[in-house]
Amino acid sequence: MDDSASSAKKSGRTSLLDSGEDFEVLDEEDIDDEPPPLEDADGGNRKHSIESVKKNSDTDPDHTDQLDEWLDVLGNEQLKKKVLKAGKGRDTRPQKGQNVKIHLKTYLMDGTLVEEQSYLSFTLGDGDVIQALDLTVMLMEMGEKALIQTEAKYAYGDRGSLETAVPPNAMLTLEVELLEATDAPDLELLPPAEKIALASHKRERGNVHYQRRDYAFAVNSYSIALQITESSSKVDISSEEENELMDVKVKCLNNMAAAQLKLDHYDAALKFCVAALSHQPDNIKALFRMGKVLALQGEYTDAIQTLRKALKLEPSNKTIHAELSKLVKKHSEQRGAEQAMYKKMLGNPTSCSSNTQKHQAKSSWGLSWKWLFGATAVAIGGVALSVVIAARN
């Protein structure tokens, strides 16, 4: 089990469909309420932040010489950087997409050291670390040591961190030294085992973002993981490794659908469900989530059929039972409401028919009496005329 799974277990969270396959960070509350499209995977806030970093960097050319001054990285006083030791020049700054290695110390604002990592490695700009690091390390020069002050918004947010003992809504001070920056490996030449490990790592980072409700960042991490799983390979790969890579891919597709749902992007969520089922038609999680998406789109008949298929594959699953029961009830209520509306619009055909029959019967009865009265009158008149004629004769 990965780190995110163990942290979920520590905090008392349970998996969505009780299997732990790809929902180890999802809260139980997600069952009943169950995100940007792939092309917008960087997320609006993150993209704006990176552009702000570049703008502020360009307008402050020699800040590394001003060791006693703070640089307002985003221009909002919420993320600031101060150089403690100058680096080797602006041309040694790392680029987005490169793998960097740093020495990191994390402090609370009262000076408490909560974490120290001597050789923390991550891909710059991929969301592998808190935003404060992603946004400031790209402004550092090789060998530079800097002090960073960040609001909780760019660190661990309103949830804090169990792993680093950071409380909710905590401002942090980070001491960072940039040790190394190298180009990311060529995915086509990456050994299958390393490709699987890298894709899994990106997916797990997406799970962390999902758990923190940073759904746009989760989409970003899942999309990177998918790109790794879908990259071509120029090295030999065994059938077992292919299956393992496919398993990671399907987990990413499922989790991507979950994140898109949270962002109310139903078409995108449905697309990823369909993609997962194209590889594994009996994937219960994909079927379950697809049923929820269809229900949210008002396609109740298709949603019920999809959930029934999932329940047939796993009859004892209480989550699917509950969702299906709720959906069937809702569909039944909707049909009843529609029938009542149609009756109101068209009137009550049964009542109309009954009234028509009564009117016809009444009309027929009245006509019979009129006919009988007329016939009697004619008969009496004929008799009287005969008597008169006979008297004259």
- At residue 328, the pLDDT reads 87
Biggest CA pair distance of the chain: 153
Q: What is the DSSP string of 258-304?
A: HHHHHTT-HHHHHHHHHHHHHH-TT-HHHHHHHHHHHHHTT-HHHHH
Report domain extents, the chain: 40-184, 188-317
pLDDT in tens, 322-350: 999 888 888 776 666 656 666 667 765 55
**Would you call 26 helix, strand, or coil by DSSP?**
coil
The rounded mean pLDDT for the chain is 80
Q: Residue 79 pLDDT > 70, yes or no?
A: yes
Q: Residue 189 pLDDT > 80, yes or no?
A: yes
Cα 215 from chain centroid (whole Å): 7
Q: Residue 155 pLDDT > 50, yes or no?
A: yes
Structure letter (DSSP) for residue 179: E
pLDDT in tens, 264-299: 999 999 999 999 999 999 999 999 999 999 999 989
Strand order in the sheet with 172-182: 71-72, 79-85, 145-150, 172-182, 99-108, 113-123
Q: Give alpha helix (H) positions in the chain.
A: 3-10, 30-33, 44-58, 131-137, 192-211, 215-230, 239-262, 266-279, 284-296, 300-313, 318-346, 349-392
Just give the CATH number of 40-184: 3.10.50.40
Q: If residue 116 lies in a helix (H) or strand (E), which one and from where to where? A: strand 113-123
* Listed residue (287, 292, 285) closest to 323, CA to CA: 292
Q: For the residues 16-34, what does the mean pLDDT come to?
A: 39
Pick the CATH number of 188-317 from 2.60.40.10, 1.25.40.10, 3.60.20.10, 2.40.110.10: 1.25.40.10
Q: What one-letter code names the amino acid at 308?
A: R
Q: For the residues 39-67, what does the mean pLDDT come to?
A: 45
Q: Tokens 């749902």 identify what position?
A: 261
As a whole number of angstroms, the distance between CA 393 and CA 390 comes to 5
- At residue 375, the pLDDT reads 56
Q: Predicted confidence band at 373 (pLDDT cuts at 50, 70, 90)?
A: low
| Residue 290 CB neighbours (<10 A) | 25
